[in-house]
Amino acid sequence: MRRFVIWMYAPDTPHWSMPEWSFERIRGALDPEWEIESVRVALEATGDGVRVTPPELLQAVADAEVYCGWGIRRDVFLAARKLRWFHSGAAGARNSLFEEMRESDVIFTNSAGMYADSLADHAMAGILYFVRGLDLAVRAQREREWVQSALNSPRSPLHAAPAAGEVAGASLGIIGYGGIGSALGRRAHAVGMRVQAIRRTVGPKPPELDRLDAPDRLPELLASSDFVALTAPETPETKGLLGAAELARMKPGAVLINLARGTLVDEAALVRALEGGHLRGAMLDVFRMEPLPSRHPLWGLENVLITPHVGGTSARFWERETDLIVRNISRYQRGDPLENRVDKARGY
């Protein structure tokens, strides 16, 4: 029998736990010569993988041809001696690209794009939060203050950068125009924003974009955008992408939105840019260290909106994820190329 093993079981965290209906759909997509197993040991997941490997998983994958999980740890990969295809429920690939994986002929697919809609909605929420001065309203509500005069004043966010109180006509720069970036670009264009983006391979410009450039045009994007959204994967080229110099090039009064990975931004430099008033604010869903330490200065900044790496959380995720796995099972059984195959050299 050919073995298909799944470890996506987290009964206390529904977002990380494959529903029974999803498992049954996957079972039904497999030809009769397959045996499928769901490892029923609760996992502790991070954004890109799991923290601890249970011995039950090592035993289960020993003769598995296919393994689905939240990333794959090196010890699991080495134990899975017959592995030919690994699918990750995570969008990021960083933690699974250890040397043995990179040098192997194991097919690696991930879930890039499955989180695109929820992350794009999350980014739009952040844009509207700052455009409408909701950070000031939330602060005033906490203090039970009626701040109508302050919000109507010429210096309030409703009259100043970014966007002077209306999202239409504001400029959005998107760094990384894959599934998440393009979902955000379409939404921003639909509400009247001017949208520009950079990506590694330029190609034809999608209709929702005003400009599409290569990474060497990053300084121009930073200088001309009211909002800058990071949606690029973490690679050697993108780590530390926005340091002190890049943040200083951003348009005065601009807002930074990070939905990518915390390592793309110099957090100390970001704190200085926010405290000094060069940036209007930041919405951050990802951080260099997670959970974000309680003493981190970002917690104390009133012009920062922090969400705990939940931008991709959505009840609809498992519909999209199951559809992807089922489509790829059909392709795998026919010997066709799989969707969402990770380029191990590029890292995404």
Annotated catalytic residues are 261, 290, 309
- SS3 assignment, position 105: coil
How far apart are the C-alpha atoms of 255 and 258, rounded to whole Å?
A: 10
The burial class, CB within 10 Å (0-12 / 13-18 / 19+), for 234 is buried
Q: Are 133 and 155 in contact (CB under 8 A)?
A: no
Say if residue 54 is preceded by a cis peptide, omega within 30 of 0: no
One-letter amino acid identity for 73? R
Burial (CB count <10 Å: 0-12, 13-18, 19+), residue 216: exposed
Closest to 178 (Cα-Cα) out of 129, 119, 125, 225: 119
Task: Pick the closest to residue 188 from 234, 216, 226, 233 (CA basis).
Answer: 226
- What count of other Cβ atoms lies within 10 Å of the Cβ of residue 191? 15
β 107-109/85-88 pair status: parallel
- CB distance 41 to 104 below 8 Å: no
Category of 192 on φ-ψ map: left (φ > 0), alpha (ψ -120 to 50) or beta: left
Count of CB atoms within 10 A of residue 144's CB?
6
Q: Is the preceding peptide bond at 162 cis, omega within 30 degrees of 0?
A: yes
